[in-house]
């Protein structure tokens, strides 16, 4: 895709290939689309949580650039059978998260559709946008929060049980990203939307380096470990392939001492993603293969 479109404007600093497009004045823009059956289950989820989750996913792209979200545009495809009250509840979820991060909804569009979909455009600002392509050999690899909880939440939902709070109402790491760039050197960053393995692969590709993950250092909650034990899953691979986490995966030469940050590996010269020094089989959320 990147090779098919050349830049006609001199105002664009970063185009296709990162979490956001970056303009020379520090404006950052991201676009996402979420559809029923791929990103959410309308008849198993509260509409409020659908609105929240979809909006959070878009805001997470802004967090990945260490930016501040300012404005949003929303397009909704509405199937004829969708009740007005459900639509209102969905908008309430979006509104709640908008208030939390002081993001103004400034426009959008609605159309009739055979299935429900939501599409967000987020416009923000970043004084020092952090890209995927800045990782340097010797950097430490860090993750905010825990991983695996979102995938566990999805599986609980599929089985008719109550999902985890992280699945229902994820909080994009906008404030944490700002604290990180204020106090440390952050060379590269991405949000974990498709899973650590896939997203680490994006950093590897864009930076021309390798990511070696230490399986023993991964931040996996006790509840995920217990869930994996009961389901006979490997908790390490289960968590590394967990999408929709919306945590930050980043590299830094600094030793970072923050309660929500865990060092999980190193940047190495050989390109690719590795687990304990061995080449990893990349797995995670595939938009054209994985379906809720």
3-state secondary structure 25-65: CCEEEEEEEEEECCCECCCCCCHHHHHHHHHHHHHHHHHHC
Calpha distance 236→240 (Å, rounded): 6
User: Residue 138 belongs to a domain with what CATH number?
Assistant: 3.90.650.10
Distances (CA, A) of 72 to 103, 123, 177: 7, 6, 20
In the structure, what pLDDT confidence band is assigned to residue 289 with cuts at 50, 70 and 90? very low
pLDDT of residue 6: 59
Domain boundary among 66, 100, 125: 125
Q: Is the dihedral of CA 61, 65, 69, 75 positive or negative?
A: negative
pTM: 0.91
Q: What is the reported pLDDT for 14?
A: 81
Residue 270 three-state SS: coil
| CB 87 within 8 Å of CB 128 | no
| Residues 170 and 272 grouped into a single domain | yes
CATH number of the CATH domain containing 45: 3.30.1330.10
Among the three residues 78, 101, 125, which one is the final residue of a domain in this structure? Answer: 125
pLDDT attached to residue 284 = 59
Q: Do 67 and 104 lie in a common domain?
A: yes
Do 138 and 267 belong together in one domain?
A: yes
Backbone angles phi, psi at 17, to 5 degrees: 120, -5
87 and 147 inside one domain: no
Structural domain of residue 49, as residue ranges? 2-125
Distance in angstroms (rounded) separating the CA atoms of residues 157 and 171:
19
Domain membership flag for residue 285: no
Q: What is the pLDDT of residue 118?
A: 96
pLDDT tens-place string over residues 232-278? 999 999 999 999 999 999 999 999 999 999 999 999 999 999 999 99
My answer on whether 143 and 266 are in the same domain is: yes
pLDDT for the residue 290: 46
Query: What's the pLDDT tens digit per position in 103-115?
Result: 999 999 999 999 8
Alpha-helical runs (H) found in the chain: 47-64, 84-101, 149-158, 165-168, 174-183, 196-207, 222-231, 235-240
What would the pLDDT profile of 50-60 be if each residue is shown by its tens digit?
999 999 999 99
What per-residue confidence (pLDDT) applies to 5?
54
pLDDT tens for 10-40 read 778 787 777 899 999 999 999 999 988 777 8
HSE-up (13 A, CA, CB side) for residue 10: 0
171 and 187 fall within a common domain: yes
Does residue 257 form part of some domain? Answer: yes
Based on the fold, state whether residues 231 and 96 are members of the same structural domain. Answer: no
Structurally, the chain folds into a number of domains equal to 2
6 and 80 housed in the same domain: yes
pLDDT in the model for residue 117: 93
Q: What six digits make up the tokens of 201?
A: 């692969």
Co-location of 149 and 113 in the same domain:
no
Residues 182 and 143 in one domain: yes
């Amino acid at each position: 895709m990147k090779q098919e479109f050349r830049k006609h404007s001199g105002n664009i600093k970063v185009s296709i290939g990162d979490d956001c497009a970056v303009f020379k004045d520090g404006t950052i823009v991201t676009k996402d689309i979420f559809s029923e059956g791929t990103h959410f289950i309308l008849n198993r989820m509260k509409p409020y949580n659908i609105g929240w989750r979809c909006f959070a996913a878009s805001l997470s792209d802004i967090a990945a650039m260490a930016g501040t979200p300012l404005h949003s545009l929303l397009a909704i495809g509405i199937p004829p059978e969708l009740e007005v009250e459900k639509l209102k509840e969905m908008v309430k979820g979006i509104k709640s998260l908008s208030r939390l991060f002081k993001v103004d909804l400034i426009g959008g569009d609605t159309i009739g559709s055979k299935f429900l979909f939501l599409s967000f455009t987020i416009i923000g600002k970043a004084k020092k946008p952090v890209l995927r392509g800045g990782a340097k050999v010797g950097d430490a690899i860090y993750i905010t929060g825990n991983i695996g909880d979102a995938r566990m939440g999805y599986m609980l939902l599929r089985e008719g049980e109550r999902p985890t709070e992280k699945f229902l109402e994820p909080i994009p790491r906008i404030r944490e990203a700002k604290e990180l760039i204020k106090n440390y050197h952050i060379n590269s960053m991405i949000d974990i939307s498709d899973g650590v393995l896939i997203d680490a692969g994006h950093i590897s590709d864009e930076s021309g380096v390798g990511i070696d993950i230490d399986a023993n250092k991964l931040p996996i909650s006790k509840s995920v470990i217990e869930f994996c034990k009961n389901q006979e899953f490997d908790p390490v691979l289960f968590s590394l392939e967990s999408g929709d986490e919306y945590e930050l995966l980043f590299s830094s030469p600094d030793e970072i001492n923050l309660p929500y940050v865990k060092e999980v590996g190193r940047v190495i010269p050989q390109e690719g993603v590795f687990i304990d020094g061995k080449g990893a089989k990349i797995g995670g959320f595939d938009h054209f293969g994985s379906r809720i």
